[in-house]
Amino acid sequence: MSHELTLQLLDTHAGGDVSRIVIGGIDPLPGTTVREQMEYLENDADGLRKLLLNEPYGIPEMSVDLIVPAADPRAQMGYIIMEVMGYPVYSGSNTICTATALLETGLIPKREGIQRFTLESPAGLVQIEARVENGVVEAITCGGLPSYIDTHRATIHVPEVGDVTYSIAYSGGFYALVDAEALGFSLKREEERALAECAHRIVEAIQARSGFSHYTLGDVGPLPFLHFMGPVEQIADDFYRSRSATYVHPGVICRSTTGTGTSARLALMHYEGAIKPGDKLETISLRETGFIGEVVEVREAGGGHQVVENTITGKSYVLARSEIVVNCDDPMVDCGGVHHILSSRHQS
């Protein structure tokens, strides 16, 4: 090769879900907001997502977060989320990982104690609270997207599964929420493949029945997520715990319970009168990791929806700092959708 095309990465995980943070190697993207920059990637440079989530560089179970300059002057930095299903406008686990990566790389200077800053996601501004102890980012609390129930306890017949009762929540994407025990699951790690197969059938059936429209965003595409709910255990007057598992269509059971999955649970529990502002829910994954969601307040919006404002708290760990060499001569590498945004293409 006459020159190398490279990407600078920081691999992290929160709750077991790996987020690959792209911190260098990409040209500035067109767009006056982070949302417009995301749409440019989606429509004109989807090769970056495919490159880092497919062989030989990655696997579909990972996520990718591209750090970009914030367009809103109130934010310190921006980020774009990429997953196997496409471009979610928000993700709790990816936000926790991105905030940690920004602190660990010094892109946002790290300070001891409680540190607050603002990021710009494709969904808008996100408030971050970082707890730093002895130079270590011990916890990130991020604002979850306003969440609400679109459909409560509908029933659908699913081939090879039977009749399934589900609710639909919006929490950054539309989620089908189903009772794990009613489907024969105890939410243990050895059930992961069976959970994915079951969720795939349910999501396909719901997608074939109907789409869902957000009260301000409108049509945001086919149903992408399903969340298996375990029994809820009350730990204290204002603290609850539940085993959970989130599925991303097609085919992926997340290693964590996910931030948006936890926000969806908060919306459903509030809708059913099981939780109130100030209460917290810890969701526990197949790998025994957890996120803590808190109901901050509830308001009406969108023609009568009870919208739950919430936060998600978790911890991210750094896995690796690396520079990926993008070899366009490699027959396993498709540079067609990414070559034009790689900064290193200008180097000789």
Tell me which of 63, 91, 167, 244 is the catalytic residue: 91
* Burial (Cβ within 10 Å: 0-12, 13-18, ≥19) of residue 105: middle
Quick check: is 91 catalytic?
yes
CA angle 39, 316, 82 (to 5 degrees): 15
Helix (H, G, I), strand (E, B), or coil: what is residue 215? coil
- Per the CB < 8 A criterion, the answer to whether 36 and 45 are in contact is no
- Per the CB < 8 A criterion, the answer to whether 344 and 5 are in contact is yes
* Burial (Cβ within 10 Å: 0-12, 13-18, ≥19) of residue 107: middle
The CA distances from residue 80 to 33, 34, 67, 75, 87, in Å, are 11, 7, 7, 14, 8
Question: Does 30 sit behind a cis peptide bond, omega within 30 degrees of 0 on the bond before it?
Answer: no
The β-bridge partners of 232 are: 242
CA-wise closest residue to 178 among 159, 203, 144: 203
Just list the catalytic residues.
Answer: 91
